[in-house]
A and B are shown apart, each in its own frame.
Chain A
Amino acid sequence: MKDQIVPTENLRGFAGVAEALIAKSERLDRLGLIFGKWGLGKSTSLQWYYSNHPCFYARALAAWQRSPNMMVEDLLSTYRVEARGRLKLDVRELVRVVKKRGDPLILDEADYVIRRAILIETIRDVADLAHVPVILIAGEDAMNLLGRHDLAHVLSRITAKYEFKELSVRDIQRAAQELCGLAVDEKVGSFIRKVCLGDFRLLNAFLLRAEELCFFNQTSEITASIAKTAAESATGQAERAGKPETAWAEPQREALAAAG
Chain B
Amino acid sequence: MPEGITQKVRKAANDLGEFTMDRLEETIPVKTFKERRDAREAIRRLIQRNEIVPAGPDRYRYQAARREFSKRARMWRAMRIKGSFTQQDIVRLSGASRNHAEKYFRSLKKQGLVEVVARRGYEKGLYRLKDPDSVPLEHPKLIR
Q: A25-B17, A57-B81 are in contact. Are A47 and B93 (CB under 8 A)?
A: yes
Q: B82-108: contact bitstring with A at CB < 8 Å (1 yes, 0 no)?
A: 100000100111110010000000000
Answer whether residue A26 sits at the interface, using C-beta atoms and an 8 A cutoff.
yes
Q: A22–B64 Cα gap in the complex (Å)?
A: 8
The prevalent SS among residues of B at the interface is: helix
A53 to B: closest C-beta gap in Å: 8
On chain B, the number of residues with a Cβ less than 8 Å from chain A's Cβ atoms is 24
A80: which B residues are within 8 A, CB to CB?
A: 137
Answer whether residue A240 sits at the interface, using C-beta atoms and an 8 A cutoff.
no
Answer whether residue B133 sits at the interface, using C-beta atoms and an 8 A cutoff.
yes
Answer whether residue A85 sits at the interface, using C-beta atoms and an 8 A cutoff.
no
User: Are A52 and B14 interface neighbours, CB within 8 A?
Assistant: no
B95: which A residues are within 8 A, CB to CB?
A: 4-5, 52
User: Are A51 and B93 interface neighbours, CB within 8 A?
Assistant: yes
A67 to B: closest C-beta gap in Å: 20
On chain A, which size bracket covers the interface? 10 to 19
Q: A51-B74, A51-B94 are in contact. Are A3 and B64 (CB under 8 A)?
A: no
A143 to B: closest C-beta gap in Å: 26
User: Are A4 and B92 interface neighbours, CB within 8 A?
Assistant: yes
Answer whether residue A149 sits at the interface, using C-beta atoms and an 8 A cutoff.
no
Q: A27–B17 Cα gap in the complex (Å)?
A: 10
B9 to A: closest C-beta gap in Å: 14
A59 nearest in chain B by CB position: B81
Instruction: Identify which of residues 50-97 in chain B touch chain A, using a CB-to-CB cut-off of 8 Å.
Output: 63-64, 67, 69, 74-75, 77-78, 81-82, 88, 91-95
Answer whether residue A77 sits at the interface, using C-beta atoms and an 8 A cutoff.
yes
A108 nearest in chain B by CB position: B81
Q: A1-38: contact bitstring with B at CB < 8 Å (1 yes, 0 no)?
A: 00111000000000000000011011100000000000
Q: A57–B79 Cα gap in the complex (Å)?
A: 13
User: Are A50 and B15 interface neighbours, CB within 8 A?
Assistant: no
B69: which A residues are within 8 A, CB to CB?
A: 51-54
Q: A3-B88, A47-B81, A77-B133 are in contact. Are A54 and B93 (CB under 8 A)?
A: no
Q: Which among A26, A50, A51, A77 has the highest number of chain B CB atoms within 10 Å?
A: A51
Residue from the list A22, A26, A51, A77 in contact with B15, Cβ < 8 A: A26
User: Are B94 and A25 interface neighbours, CB within 8 A?
Assistant: no
B82: which A residues are within 8 A, CB to CB?
A: 47
B76 nearest in chain A by CB position: A51
A55 nearest in chain B by CB position: B77
Q: A65-92: contact bitstring with B at CB < 8 Å (1 yes, 0 no)?
A: 0000000000001001000000000000
Q: Shortest 4 CB-CB distances between A and B: which pairs?
A: A51-B78, A51-B93, A3-B92, A51-B77
Besides A47-B93, A48-B93, A52-B77, 19 new A-B residue pairs in contact (Cβ under 8 A), listed by A number: A5-B93, A5-B95, A22-B64, A23-B64, A25-B16, A25-B17, A26-B14, A27-B15, A47-B78, A50-B78, A51-B69, A51-B93, A51-B94, A52-B93, A52-B94, A52-B95, A53-B69, A54-B67, A57-B81
A–B complex contacts, Cβ < 8 Å, 7 sampled: A4-B95, A22-B64, A46-B81, A47-B81, A51-B77, A51-B81, A52-B94
